[in-house]
Amino acid sequence: MVRRALILLERNVFGANTGLLYVQAARRLDLCPITLSADPTQYDNLAAEGLEVVRVDTSDFNALVSECSRLRATYDIAGIISPREAFCATAARLCRHFDLPGPDPASIDRCCDKFAQRQLLAQSGIAVPAYYLALDAADVQRSAALIGLPVIVKPAVGTGSAGVRLCRNIDEVAEHTSYLLGGKHVWRSAPRILVEEFAEGPYYSADLMGNEVFAIATAEFGPLPHFVFHGGTYPAQLTHEEHTRIEDVSLSCLRALGLGWGPATIELRWTMRGPVVIEVTPRLGGGSNPQLAQLAYGVDFLTEHIKLAIGKEWDLQKSKSLIAGSRVLNADRDGIVDWINDDSLVAAIPGLAEVKLYVKPKTRIFQRYDYRDRIGHVLASSPSFAQTESILNRALDLIGWSITQSE
């Protein structure tokens, strides 16, 4: 009997490994997970997982078609997905080529371009921050002057807060522009910078599958001028009116962007004028969000996504109603990790669902003020917000580390 396979186009490289969770979910569905990667060595746990990996240029669509065609001689390819946003559109094009379930590739492409996304949302009457696209330093300066300081300056394409900074004055605008254009930021293609209004207010994110808003969460970030994720909570504490408005805005975003197949995440800020959409991503929320959703509601979002991708019926029926939260450990300097606590004491805390440390002693740390600063996380759930907060704080109190600063 020919084995059914799920193709994973690249994987997450850092931190909470959604790629590994997809592998585990695929195996529970009796699928053989196969990773296609341009550089399998970037995934340090593939051998331990006993996972089949194929080296192929994942930026070359024809090469991917050829490799999938070769695999079809051995496997029944049931579905193709990518846990990484940069490859979601390519995965969608492969699905279309092989007549497999998947989203519209053009819609995914537009969604992953923050400028194109903003245009479509604004044209549909959805509240977004004021914005301009800049191609050089002069463009950035003009855009900042038109919007008015402070402004956020960031790449038009990217994830995980990489290259995102709040600039309060014209000197900070010039400094960050020089950083982005000076060779330190890695661009996928030609530099394109988005300059936008700073939308102030509580942060919320809505998780959707198809045309259904599954959950609304909240999150906290580190001190400005950067936007380093520090933790999140499922569900967000909202009034009925607030929940309804966020749900309505989220569904409007799907319609404006031509989405509505598979997972999506809508990020927004609740400002003085109500919910303002910051970004729409055509994938599951990053970090530990899928695990938090499962802890809070008893729904395995990744498994349901795979079911959708292989043409099976999916179900987001909630079986629990708990408060789940995460806290992220972030490096605060460049240097070498001298020591980091063993996590055995922390793991024994009642209500703690997971403690994971990403680094070991002698690991070199480079602080980048984005998702790559994460060195670990803790997850917890309980019947109340206060209890979950208490469990997370207790865990953080027991975790320590030392980084010798680089000279």
Is the CB of residue 151 less than 8 Å from the CB of residue 198? yes
Range with the poorest average pLDDT among 169-183, 333-347, 382-396: 333-347
Comparing CA positions, the residue from 225, 221, 177 lying closest to residue 198 is 225
Contact 330, 309 (CB under 8 A): no
Confidence band of 17 (pLDDT split at 50, 70, 90): confident
pLDDT class of 254 with cuts at 50, 70, 90? very high
Please say whether the beta carbons of 287 and 328 come within 8 A: yes
Percentage with pLDDT > 70 across the chain: 97
Token readout for 43 is 């995934």
Cα torsion through 169, 174, 175, 177, rounded to 10: 120
The pLDDT assigned to 229 comes to 94
Residue-wise pLDDT tens digits, 162-185: 899 999 999 999 999 999 998 777
Q: CA angle at residue 156 from 332 to 268, to 5 degrees?
A: 70
Q: Domain 130-197 falls in which CATH fold? A: Dna Ligase; domain 1 (3.30.1490)
List the chain domain ranges.
3-100, 104-125+199-317, 130-197, 322-407
Choice among 48-57, 67-76, 229-238, 354-363 with the minimum mean pLDDT: 48-57
Could you tell me the pLDDT band of residue 63, with boundaries at 50, 70 and 90? very high
Query: Quick check: 1 pLDDT over 80?
Result: no
What is the average pLDDT value for the chain, to the nearest integer? Answer: 93
pLDDT for 242 equals 97
Three-state secondary structure readout of 41-67? HHCCCHHHHCCEEEECCCCCHHHHHHH
Give Cα separations from 247 to 182, 205, 209, 320 (angstroms).
Answer: 40, 10, 13, 21
**Is 47's pLDDT higher than 80?**
no
Q: Which of 103-107, 153-157, 403-407 has the lowest mean pLDDT?
A: 403-407
Q: Cβ contacts of residue 301 below 8 Å, gap of 6+?
A: 207, 209, 214, 263, 284, 290, 293, 294, 316
| Cβ pair 354, 294 in contact under 8 A | no
Helix (H, G, I), strand (E, B) or coil at 114: helix
Structure tokens at 248: 């309505």
CATH of domain 3-100: 3.40.50.20
Q: Which helix (H) or strand (E) holds 96?
A: helix 88-97
Is the pLDDT at 27 greater than 80? The verdict is: yes
d(CA 29, CA 197): 45
- Which of 352, 208, 210, 357 is closest to 289 using CA atoms? 208
Q: Which two tokens stand for residue 173?
A: 């605008």
Lowest mean pLDDT among 239-243, 296-300, 330-334, 339-343: 339-343
Say whether 188 is catalytic: no
User: Averaged over 332-357, what is the pLDDT?
Assistant: 89
Question: Which CATH fold topology does 104-125+199-317 show?
Answer: D-amino Acid Aminotransferase; Chain A, domain 1 (3.30.470)
The answer to whether residue 52 scores a pLDDT higher than 60 is yes
Structure tokens at 4: 């059914």
Instruction: For residue 309, name the pLDDT band (cuts at 50, 70, 90).
Output: very high
Does domain 322-407 bear CATH number 3.40.50.300? no
pLDDT value at 8 more than 90: yes
> Under DSSP, is residue 203 helix (H, G, I), strand (E, B) or coil?
strand
Confidence of residue 11 (pLDDT cuts 50, 70, 90): confident
**Cβ–Cβ < 8 Å for 4, 32:** yes
Three-class DSSP category at 129: coil
Same fold, 104-125+199-317 and 322-407: yes
Q: What residues form DSSP beta bridges with 216?
A: 206
In tens, the pLDDT along 265-283 reads 999 999 999 999 999 999 9
CA diameter of the chain: 66
Give the residue-averaged pLDDT of 315-327. Answer: 96
Count of CB atoms situated within 10 Å of the CB of 405: 11
Of 165, 269, 283, 372, the catalytic one is 283
Cα dihedral sign, 5-6-10-13:
negative
Identify the residue with better confidence: 248 or 46: 248
Q: Compute CA 164 distance to the chain's CA centroid, rounded to the nearest angstrom.
A: 15
Share of the chain above pLDDT 90, in %: 80
Q: Answer yes or no: is pLDDT of 189 > 80.
A: no
C-alpha angle 12-285-308 in degrees, rounded to nearest 5: 85
Compute the distance between CA of residue 263 and CA of residue 91 in angstroms, rounded to an integer.
Answer: 14
Over the stretch 203-221, which tens digit does the pLDDT of each residue have? Answer: 999 999 999 999 999 999 9
Residue 240 is which amino acid? H
Task: Decide if pLDDT at 294 tops 90.
Answer: yes
d(CA 34, CA 80): 10
CA–CA gap between residue 299 and residue 315 (Å, rounded): 8
- Give pLDDT tens digits for 354-375: 999 988 899 899 899 998 899 9
Residue 345 near residue 398 (C-beta atoms within 8 A) = yes
Q: Tell me the two tokens of residue 249.
A: 């805005």
DSSP 8-state assignment for residue 149: S
Higher pLDDT, 20 or 298: 298
Find the mean pLDDT for residues 232-245.
97
pLDDT score at 99: 98
161 and 279 Cβ atoms separated by less than 8 Å:
no
69-91: average pLDDT: 96
Mean pLDDT of 345-355: 91
Residue 343 pLDDT > 80: no
Confidence at 48, pLDDT banded by 50, 70, 90: low
Least confident window among 111-125, 144-158, 331-345: 331-345
- 85, 282 in Cβ contact below 8 A? yes
| C-alpha triplet 6, 9, 11: angle, nearest 5° | 105
Q: Encode pLDDT of 89-111 as tens digits.
A: 999 999 999 999 999 999 999 99
373: Cβ–Cβ under 8 A, 6 or more apart, which residues?
Answer: 228, 330, 331, 367
